[in-house]
Amino acid sequence: MSFDAPRELNDPKAMRALAHPVRIALLEALTVHAQLTATEAGEIVGESPANTSFHLRQLAKYGFVEEAEGGTGRRRPWRRKELGLRFTEVHADDETAAAARELSRLYSHRFIERAERGLEDNRALPEVWRAALGWNQVALHLTPDEVKEIDEALLAVFAPYGDRREPTEDQPHGAKRVEFLTFAYRL
């Protein structure tokens, strides 16, 4: 999949539907694996096939996943409808703002926990990876417009690699899945 503009999420019902750890884990699993059955996805996220199937149906109801072709009988594979999503906590409607805050809280906790594990695990990687991975910290005095400009510039840096968000056979030898996180917050 190319690095298309992410889905703008502004429906409070869809935000609340997504704001569940199992559903976020399922979306992430369907990013790594182009398609999965409920049983396969359940093994990855540590849930029963029945529970996984329920959560996949909820994700489908709000347009995050869809049934993939090639299923037979009870073996029905699922796939993401699109990669990426974007949302803001700023909404005139209190219900939408509250749903966005909850979704943001869930994602930020998940990302930070995964970053902590990843940075710890980096220490056991071969030197070539340890030299490439790590973190950066920059504190600047910026206006809101400048912060938005930097955010857009960072996304533009990743755009040429958009076809590498999913695993494919034509990726360079030795390519591994690497996650970049950027956070912008006031000090």
Contact partners, residue 93, CB within 8 Å, separation at least 6: 12
> What's the whole-model pTM score?
0.81
Q: What is the mean pLDDT of residues 163-183?
A: 86
183 in a structural domain: no
Q: What is the mean pLDDT of residues 9-14?
A: 94
24 in a structural domain: yes
- The pLDDT, as a whole number, for residue 155 is 87
- The pLDDT, as a whole number, for residue 67 is 92
User: What are 139-157's pLDDT values in tens digits?
Assistant: 999 999 999 999 999 989 9
- The pLDDT, as a whole number, for residue 135 is 87
- For the chain, give the percent of residues with pLDDT over 70: 96
* pLDDT band, very low/low/confident/very high, at 69 (cuts 50, 70, 90): confident
Q: How many domains are there within the chain? A: 1
What residues make up the domain containing 62? 7-133
User: What are 32-52's pLDDT values in tens digits?
Assistant: 898 999 999 999 999 999 999
170 in a structural domain: no
173 in a structural domain: no
* pLDDT band, very low/low/confident/very high, at 169 (cuts 50, 70, 90): confident
138 in a structural domain: no
Please say if the pLDDT value at position 1 is more than 50. no
User: What are 77-136's pLDDT values in tens digits?
Assistant: 999 998 888 899 999 999 999 999 999 999 999 999 999 999 999 999 999 999 999 888
Alpha helices (H) in the chain, listed in sequence order? 12-18, 21-32, 38-45, 49-61, 94-122, 127-132, 144-158
Tokens (6 digits) for 111: 């990302």
* pLDDT band, very low/low/confident/very high, at 13 (cuts 50, 70, 90): very high
172 in a structural domain: no
Single-letter residue type at 186: R
Domain containing residue 92: CATH number: 1.10.10.10
Q: What angle do CA 167, 173, 178 make, to 5 degrees?
A: 50
46 in a structural domain: yes
Give phi and psi for 5, each to the nearest 5: -55, 135
26 in a structural domain: yes
